[in-house]
Structure 1
Amino acid sequence: MANQKEKLFSNFPPVSTEEWMAKITADLKGADFEKKLVWRTNEGFNVNPFYRNEDIEGLNTLESLPGVFPYVRGTKKDNDWYTRQDINVIDFKAANAKALDVLNKGITSLSFAIKSEEVTADNIKTLLKDICPEAVELNFSTCHKKSVELTKIVADYYKELDVDVMKCFGSINYDAFKPLLKKGRDCGDWVEQAATIVKASASLPRFRVLSVNAHLTSDGGAYIYQELGYALANGNQLLSKLIEAGLDAALVAKKIKFNFGISGNYFMEIAKFRAARWLWAEIVDAYQPLCNHDCPNKSEGGICRCAAKIYTHAQTSMFNKTIYDAHVNLLRTQTEAMSATLAGVNSLTVRPFDETYKESDDFSERIARNQQLLLKEECHFDKVTDPSAGSYYIENLTVSIAEQAWKLFLEVDELGFYDALKANTVQTAVKASANNRVKALATRREVLLGTNQYPNFTEVAASKIMKETSGCGCGCSSEGAPYEALPADRLATSYEELRLATEKSGKTPTVFMLTIGNLGMRLARSQFSANFFGCAGYKIVDNLGFDTVEAGVKAAREKKADIIVLCSSDDEYATFAPEAYNLVKGKEIFVVAGAPACTEELKAQGIENFVNVKSNVLETLKSFSSKLGI
């Protein structure tokens, strides 16, 4: 068998990079390689169409092993992660019953969101009744003003239970900068409050009580390098200020938890988590935290290597989720979950697919749980640590994202994350990125299936929307706030507002495809136009073709068309377009599908409307809706 393999490989001699480039150049037939095949990312670096072994020579990331500083390949030697479900606590007995139920369905981590006015010792006892804190990761969040009180109550509860606290993992989601990020309000004396909460959690050494909620910037529309760069600046601000306040560096580092979002950029997200472990380890190591325990994981100088291990929770993004064609959200969350788990996160929340328009129900929560369980039980993602290691592509992505995020970190850290927020630097940058992505969606340079490409023409959604916004959960108002908050809209918001306006108008415009002439071109353009106008929720009437323009216009009027779209070839438009335009005579909106060479001649004859691949889909549809009185 070995001889057969040797013979097989001998039939395929190695191909050099020069030979690959020669073949690619020949196939491009004179087209520019850089323009055609090299991808300029939103993160500010280029991605080549192929990578080879020589592209990873000399990369520091290749020298790392799982569980070994600087932890590029993972902070642990296995790839198990906590399967988490978030529970919004309305009724404490009901929340407890739900928690006990889902713990029997594969969940190993729970997160409870509690209203500030309901943070009491009795409520916590009710909430955690019959839940063994040594067997499940427990996480809590409330308004930041009540986080210290919540921490003390949880610490007292664990003490009363007399459990082994070294087996109890969890977190208190105290985010010192959330008021600024979400509401544009100052954090007050956050250093004192953060120090107090660290001290209050002293009896819970495995509890992380200082949160870096990077998912807020991700959900706001930030690019991947921005999410990571700002997260590092956030974490370093906590670390440096609390050390200045007299707290031990190793203690503070072990109290910080990073909560990341996961976008749909599959390979880059894998690289992001790898880069995050690496960069955070270097930041913590710069403080030279001393190890105060008899631990094998320390340097010769007694520097604590455990403190440099980042603790990452990940949750699927909300920014790219949609109301229309919402089941596509399942595909999005599944690839996002794959990115995070392959990258080696500590815990993961897959958000239910219907969260964009209603409170999740038993069905959507069950599906979300099972998405993680499938990755464990059927795909065995928990059995392989950092499978992307050595990948020419992902290793290069890891280094490139690390470089961009580090550059941003240094820029923000020079001012300080807190001061950068008060200067609106972070919010303005994230808003600019979100706006760029919205523009890309409007012109279809970025695609959301079912929203700006291949919409479900007949779907209606107004009746299923049961909530407008998710809010921040603390009840604090942003009215009159002195600082900017992060953007709150999702990527699809503008499209959805346009389509909902069509639904609520009580009149659905009819778009008629007047297909004529060249068979291939008319079919291609009618399909393009149907997808184009379907994004606004218009009724689409397609056709196989007409022998004459007059017959097409007549059929359109029989269907009571509001818009007539002429679909033919560029050569035939010079004849067909003026004829159709004169027959329409302004009774319907007349549109030409394409950008023919005779466009200027057609415009000179009064034809105004053209749709093609260069059109701004969103703005064009808004103008049509305005003309139709929607």
Structure 2
Amino acid sequence: MANTNREKLFTEFPPVSTEQWEAVITTDLKGADYDRKLVWKTAEGFNVRPYYRAENLDGLKFLGSEAGVFPYVRGTRAHNRWLIHQTVIVKDVKEANAVALKILMAGVNSLEFKITSETFTAEELDTLLNEISIKDIELTFSGEKMAHVAELVLAKIEKEKLPADEIHLNFCIDPLVKNLTKKGAFCSPNGQTCFEKLAELIRKAKPYKHVRMVTVSGHIFSNSGSTIVEELAFALAAGHDYLVRLMDMGFSVDEAAKTIRFSLAITSNYFMEMAKLRAGRMLWANIVKAYNPEKNCACKMFTHAVTSSWNQTAYDPYVNMLRGTTEAMSATIAGIHSLEVTPFNAAFEDPNDFSMRIARNVELLLKHEAHFDQVVDPAGGSYYIENLTQSIATEAWKLFREIEEKGGYTAAYESGFIVERVKASAAAKDKSIATRRLILLGANQYPNFTEVASKDLTEKAVTRTESEGNTLTPYRGAMAFEEMRLHVDRSGKEPKAFMLTCGSLAMARARSQFSCNFFACAGIKVIDNTFFKSVEEGVKAALESKAEIVVVCASDDDYAEVAPKVKELLGGKAILVVAGAPACTPELEAQGIKNFINVKSNVLETLKFYLKEMGI
């Protein structure tokens, strides 16, 4: 009976072919261009279809593999229990120790100490780790003089005779990415001194199975404006360079691979980031496999993820909590070893108890309430995500091969190739932000109208530091808007934009809302109005408000008559702006009306122009 019912159910829903879907779509488009309307042309170098079906999985060779099985697309383990990672900035060792103990009791099981001193001592290390059970957590060290710090830590665990199999340590030693991108060149020819010291440390750490000396800082590319494909390809190329250099220094491929850890940024590109992590595992597995390791476990990509700092905002900073949450979801669904959610206030101040707790709680909620750790690769089998995985893998592999043809990561970097690629991508993103094709809530769209910068928000926090020479400097995409808005907030003036709504009510309100968001992005106080029955009434109210800018908000059909009348009644006492791009624009311009704002405007440059006109 059950089988009969099932058969009846399926006969009620006959299969629909792709041709039938396409025919309906073509009809609905009413002659519009299919590719322009529905196909997403990504910055990563491939196009994304409006929908995917089972037939789009044909030819994907990696399908059918399981989690924990080569090539590890679905994960390097048969479970999804990631570590909750949090960083403590070490300025005072006693204070840092107190913070560390507190967060360890609050759910953190992967602790990072960022050392700020260049003269860190063994005594300070003892104080820093006081009452912390090293064998019960994962410890990571980053910051200054990492080789020296690694020496101290290895000496401490050896002195205390801690069980070798229970020690989990990571050191952020990264001469290829972190050091090279900051300085543009090695401190010694070809980095020989750095790698000799690195090899010495790896040999010292040999008794400990879970110590990783190298961290490939792939997040630097993402936070400097790279695309997802570029971040992945450059990180893989740097990892491969480490692999080859260490093998040349006498290490087996197994030994070299097991000392490499990848740190990747997770942006708000929700599904693409899932696909990136899945593609990354597959590509790294094949890279290592090419050197014939003794065991496949050497092919596993050891991945730490950190939510993006590039898209954080200093204005309306609580929106960063939303960004961090969706980014954490991308990472945990895709599968990682550990994850750090960047505190929402990290863009403009050192994280505090509250911001660190909120960041921590994102992961705790995903584990204990959403149970993300109970499901392995839930994205597996999705027509869309499997195709994204393939597309990202294909493009990243092309770029990886291009780097190898240039002589490997070091040669490609020193030639300027990598910096040029990242800067070009960053420039494209900057333009998209300026024109609002890329939205950063609270910065270039839907700002908090009533927010004024606090005294604690410094110019340094919102001013981009331009990289010099062959270097990369991470920045935030919102900085250009924030710098402009902070300048207004600190100008001692309160510029105002008055919305003169008239004509067609529906269009007047729509354009008023658009214009309010437009001008508020610069910290200009917006005076919105429901509707004026006449132009005279609107102009009278505008003049009484003493607003420096008056924005006419009406329908395209109304502007030919309304805009010139507003101009006449204003008598040059305010800057007149027309909201929209009406067909009568040439006629209006001929009458001296020069200012228009619409969806195609470069918002950043337009706002700077109006601020200059107002003497700010």
TM-score by length of 1: 0.94
Q: Is the 8 A contact 1:431 1:487 kept in 2?
A: no
Is 1:196–2:200 an aligned residue pair? Answer: yes
Which whole-Å CA distance do the structure 2 matches of 1:542 and 1:286 have between them? 64
Q: Is the 8 A contact 2:220 2:474 kept in 1?
A: no
Q: Which of 378, 396, 403 does residue 387 from structure 1 map onto?
A: 378
Report the counterpart of residue 19 of structure 1 in structure 2.
Answer: 20
Q: What does the per-residue CA deviation read over 1:299-339, in whole Å, with 9 as the maximum and x for residues that have no partner?
A: xxxxx211111100000110000011111100000000001
Report the counterpart of residue 47 of structure 2 in structure 1.
Answer: 46
Report the counterpart of residue 333 of structure 1 in structure 2.
Answer: 324
Is 1:549–2:545 an aligned residue pair? Answer: no
Is 1:425–2:417 an aligned residue pair? Answer: yes
Report the counterpart of residue 358 of structure 2 in structure 1.
Answer: 367
Which whole-Å CA distance do the structure 1 matches of 2:598 and 2:54 have between them? 42
The alpha-carbon deviation at position 191 of structure 1 amounts to 2.6
Report the counterpart of residue 299 of structure 1 in structure 2.
Answer: none
**Residue segments in structure 2 that go unaligned for 5+ positions in a row:** none
Which whole-Å CA distance do the structure 2 matches of 1:82 and 1:596 have between them? 55
Number of matched pairs:
608
Which whole-Å CA distance do the structure 1 matches of 2:187 and 2:57 have between them? 44
Q: What does the per-residue CA deviation read over 1:70-89, in whole Å, with 9 as the maximum and x for residues that have no partner?
A: 11111110000110110011
What amino acid sits opposite 2:265 in the alignment?
A: G
Report the counterpart of residue 595 of structure 1 in structure 2.
Answer: 581
Structure 2 counterparts to residues 229-628 of structure 1, below 5 A: 229-289=233-293, 291=294, 304-415=295-406, 416-465=408-457, 468=460, 483-628=469-614
The alpha-carbon deviation at position 25 of structure 1 amounts to 1.0
2:197 partner SS: helix
What amino acid sits opposite 2:67 in the alignment?
A: P
The alpha-carbon deviation at position 482 of structure 1 amounts to 7.8
Which whole-Å CA distance do the structure 2 matches of 1:386 and 1:604 have between them? 61
Q: Is the 8 A contact 1:221 1:487 kept in 2?
A: no
Which whole-Å CA distance do the structure 2 matches of 1:274 and 1:252 have between them? 22
Q: Aligned pair in 2 of structure 1 residues 167, 525: CA closer, same or farther (>3 Å)?
A: same
What amino acid sits opposite 2:593 in the alignment?
A: I
Q: What does the per-residue CA deviation read over 1:377-398, in whole Å, with 9 as the maximum and x for residues that have no partner?
A: 0111111111111110000000
Report the counterpart of residue 228 of structure 2 in structure 1.
Answer: 224
Identity percentage over the alignment? 51
Report the counterpart of residue 167 of structure 2 in structure 1.
Answer: 168
Does 199-208 or 431-440 show the bigger shift?
199-208
Does 120-129 or 313-322 show the bigger shift?
120-129
Q: Is the 8 A contact 1:185 1:482 kept in 2?
A: no
The alpha-carbon deviation at position 6 of structure 1 amounts to 4.3
The alpha-carbon deviation at position 370 of structure 1 amounts to 0.5
Which whole-Å CA distance do the structure 1 matches of 2:148 and 2:531 have between them? 71
Report the counterpart of residue 99 of structure 2 in structure 1.
Answer: 98
What amino acid sits opposite 2:598 in the alignment?
A: N
What amino acid sits opposite 2:72 in the alignment?
A: Y
The alpha-carbon deviation at position 141 of structure 1 amounts to 1.3
Structure 1 vs Structure 2 CA RMSD: 1.8
Q: Is the 8 A contact 1:330 1:353 kept in 2?
A: yes
The alpha-carbon deviation at position 469 of structure 1 amounts to 5.0
Q: Is the 8 A contact 1:110 1:139 kept in 2?
A: yes
The alpha-carbon deviation at position 424 of structure 1 amounts to 2.0
Q: Is the 8 A contact 1:37 1:48 kept in 2?
A: yes
Q: Is the 8 A contact 1:155 1:204 kept in 2?
A: no
Q: Aligned pair in 2 of structure 1 residues 594, 204: CA closer, same or farther (>3 Å)?
A: same
What amino acid sits opposite 1:563 in the alignment?
A: I
**Residue segments in structure 1 that go unaligned for 5+ positions in a row:** 292-303, 472-477
Which whole-Å CA distance do the structure 2 matches of 1:174 and 1:66 have between them? 29
Q: Aligned pair in 2 of structure 1 residues 482, 617: CA closer, same or farther (>3 Å)?
A: closer
1:463 partner SS: coil
TM-score by length of 2: 0.96
Q: What does the per-residue CA deviation read over 1:564-613, in whole Å, with 9 as the maximum and x for residues that have no partner?
A: 01111111111111111122232210001111111001111111100011
The alpha-carbon deviation at position 509 of structure 1 amounts to 0.9
Q: Is the 8 A contact 1:134 1:168 kept in 2?
A: yes
1:134 partner SS: helix
What amino acid sits opposite 1:194 in the alignment?
A: L
Which whole-Å CA distance do the structure 2 matches of 1:512 and 1:354 have between them? 33
Q: Is the 8 A contact 2:543 2:570 kept in 1?
A: no
The alpha-carbon deviation at position 158 of structure 1 amounts to 1.2
Q: Aligned pair in 2 of structure 1 residues 552, 233: CA closer, same or farther (>3 Å)?
A: same
Which whole-Å CA distance do the structure 2 matches of 1:308 and 1:108 have between them? 25
Q: What does the per-residue CA deviation read over 1:28-80, in whole Å, with 9 as the maximum and x for residues that have no partner?
A: 11111111101111101010111000000221121311101111111110000
The alpha-carbon deviation at position 359 of structure 1 amounts to 1.1
What amino acid sits opposite 1:437 in the alignment?
A: K
Which whole-Å CA distance do the structure 1 matches of 2:469 and 2:247 have between them? 27
Q: Is the 8 A contact 1:179 1:187 kept in 2?
A: no
Q: Is the 8 A contact 2:305 2:338 kept in 1?
A: yes
Which whole-Å CA distance do the structure 2 matches of 1:517 and 1:187 have between them? 68
Q: What does the per-residue CA deviation read over 1:457-489, in whole Å, with 9 as the maximum and x for residues that have no partner?
A: 110124232583599xxxxxx99x984221332
Report the counterpart of residue 475 of structure 1 in structure 2.
Answer: none
The alpha-carbon deviation at position 116 of structure 1 amounts to 4.0
Q: Aligned pair in 2 of structure 1 residues 278, 624: CA closer, same or farther (>3 Å)?
A: same
Which whole-Å CA distance do the structure 1 matches of 2:34 and 2:79 have between them? 41
Which whole-Å CA distance do the structure 1 matches of 2:600 and 2:151 have between them? 59
Which whole-Å CA distance do the structure 2 matches of 1:180 and 1:163 have between them? 35
Which whole-Å CA distance do the structure 2 matches of 1:116 and 1:545 have between them? 61
The alpha-carbon deviation at position 558 of structure 1 amounts to 0.5
Which whole-Å CA distance do the structure 2 matches of 1:2 and 1:148 have between them? 67
Q: Is the 8 A contact 2:496 2:526 kept in 1?
A: yes
Which whole-Å CA distance do the structure 2 matches of 1:138 and 1:275 have between them? 27
